[in-house]
Structure 1
Amino acid sequence: MIYTQCNLSLISGIFCPPDAIKGDIGACGWVILILSALFTAITFPLTIWFCVKIINEYERAVVFRLGRITSGKPKGPGIIFILPCTDTFLKVDLRVISFAIPPQEILTKDSVTTTVDGVVYYKIYNAIKSVANVNNVHVATAQLSQTTLRNILGTQTLSSILSNREEIAHNIQSILDNATHDWGVNVERVEMRDVRLPVQMQRAMAAEAEAVREARAKIVSAEGEMNASRALKEASMVMCESPAALQLRYLQTLATIATENNSTIIFPIPIDMLQGLQKK
């Protein structure tokens, strides 16, 4: 009898602290709670395996007693004690969770159809809110991420999506973080992984880029020819002032050809000799 009373006082002190239950559970609830504590005390060596639970370091347990959350904060990590007949608990993982947003077909502001997917990283910072305020916090966060991605990218043009991906991802992360705050979720990072365009749009953009490159190449070639013609004009003026410079240029050209390819070199007849023969 003394052993039973000691066990009963111990168990009532562990499982029924003054601030353990918020709200009134009613007379029937107290009767069920007392009977459960008595049953646990009488069968203490056996029920200890049902009362003791181990919570990992990265987990928290939200304990429900007769349908009510037992305290204002979750329990764990370590060993927790529950009543086998009246208490139930849910484990909540506090680690960072990542999921891929399925490819979303989006019509941009400039009427271009594109497919965008991404990755969201989030974690639960309040286990009680994640259990009590939403049915399935992971499914709700995933669905909200899909709709937010579609809504944000629908107001952007294709060029802004391709050039401002980091800024758009930061805006999506801010919207998701504000929306999931009441769920006990903190969205830490959002990344746009891939932006896929239709094949026809890819061909049109490739043709446009090729045309721009060709136009730039023609402009560069024209500028080079203009600069070369100016240089040749200045060189011709110098050679006109000194006829021997033309002969030196001949010799320099022949030396250049000889270093590249082995060939027979024919020296041109100087123009001065031809002028002398013509006079005779």
Structure 2
Amino acid sequence: MEQSVVVERSAQVAPEPVPEQGKPAGFQPHRFEAPTLGLVERSIMAVSLIFGLLTLPLSIWTMFRQVKEYERAVIFRFGRIVHEKPKGPGIFFLWPNVDSIVVVDLRTVSFDIPPQEILTKDSVSVCVDGAVYYRVVCPTSSVTRVTNAEAATQLLAQTTLRNTLGTMNLAELLSDRVAISHNMETSLDEATDPWGIKVERVEIKDVKLPHQLQRAMAAEAEAAREARAKVIAAEGEMNASRALKEASLIIAESPSALQLRYLQTLNSIAAERNSTIIFPLPIDMMQGFMKREPVPKVQ
């Protein structure tokens, strides 16, 4: 009997793509397909090259372009992208009257979010503004997938600010600005990822409250401070009364201490500039007269 042999094929697992340096982990670069030139396009390129050579002293300024270190150039030839990787920095060759370029700045760009009237979750109208910092990580996607990357990012930041703050209470808005900035940064980064834009930072600059609400919050804070002041004063009176009680017990045990306290009081009164000073007579000096027995009458 023939024995059948079963061959198991191990599944080939494709390795996960490793993100390039300076690009987010979930970023998907622009899919490039090499253009195929037809006979007409090749003829036009030949004619443009001949024309450029005939007018070489003048056309040399259009045949070579230079981009700076922080710039990249996306080259279009007959309306199609020529190279998957943008050109730059440095000097590169262009076919005259055939190639066109779009220069993209890779530096970090910042813009202000205009003040937005937002209704919070607890029905309080506030005016909030902020600032966003972003940079382009894929020049090709920023040119081919969106008309104006900067304007689109600004509009998206305004709507994201409204959507994020509309789900929060006023207390959370005033106390958790760091968490709000982090949530907005995450939302903006996910939305602008197909455009080749990396949002680096989002900051909430100012939160303006209505005047009536400001007065109410100020009155509430003042009442809280007054309540704390009364509690502190009551605690001080209680501590002072305990100290006076202990002092009275000590003075009661020593009559001489009471006399010293009396003399100290007279000294403090004499130090003041009063026109009339009344010295109270000590009670101890009157005890002899109060305890004196009456003299019997002689009949």
Coarse TM-score class (shorter-chain normalised): 0.7 to 0.9
For 2:83, the aligned partner's letter is: S
Matches within 5 A, 1:179-258: 179-255=191-267
Unpaired runs of at least 5, structure 2: 1-31, 293-299
52, 63, 66: which one aligns with 2:75? 63
123, 129, 143: which one aligns with 1:131? 143
For 2:85, the aligned partner's letter is: K
After superposition, the C-alpha distances for 1:206-240 in whole angstroms (9 at most, x for unaligned) are 11111111111111111211221222222222222
68, 76, 82: which one aligns with 2:88? 76
For 1:61, the aligned partner's letter is: A
150, 153, 158: which one aligns with 2:165? 153
What is the Cα deviation at residue 142 of structure 1?
0.4
After superposition, the C-alpha distances for 1:61-101 in whole angstroms (9 at most, x for unaligned) are 11111101110011111212212211111111111110000
The count of aligned residue pairs is: 260
Unpaired runs of at least 5, structure 1: 1-19
Which residue is equivalent to 1:17? none
Which residue is equivalent to 1:43? 55
After superposition, the C-alpha distances for 1:85-134 in whole angstroms (9 at most, x for unaligned) are 11111111111110000001111111111111001011111111110110
Which residue is equivalent to 2:3? none
In 2, distance between residues paired with 1:147 and 1:115?
A: 14
- What is the identity percentage for the equivalent residue pairs of Structure 1 and Structure 2? 58
**CA contact 2:74–2:140 (8 Å) conserved in 1:** yes
In 2, distance between residues paired with 1:268 and 1:278?
A: 17
What RMSD, in angstroms, separates the aligned Cα atoms of the two structures? 2.0
Describe the shift of the 1:185–1:275 C-alpha distance in structure 2 as closer, same or farther (beyond 3 A). same
Bigger radius of gyration, 1 or 2? 2
Q: TM (normalized to structure 1)?
A: 0.86
User: Which structure: greater helix fraction?
Assistant: 1
**CA contact 1:63–1:89 (8 Å) conserved in 2:** yes
In 1, distance between residues paired with 2:219 and 2:233?
A: 21
For 2:91, the aligned partner's letter is: I
Q: Helix, strand or coil: the match of 1:84?
A: coil
After superposition, the C-alpha distances for 1:26-58 in whole angstroms (9 at most, x for unaligned) are 322222122112222333232111112221111
**CA contact 1:21–1:71 (8 Å) conserved in 2:** no
For 1:237, the aligned partner's letter is: L
Which residue is equivalent to 2:112? 100
Moved more, 210-219 or 23-32: 23-32
Q: Helix, strand or coil: the match of 1:106?
A: strand
Which residue is equivalent to 1:164? 176
Q: TM (normalized to structure 2)?
A: 0.81
In 2, distance between residues paired with 1:45 and 1:257?
A: 109
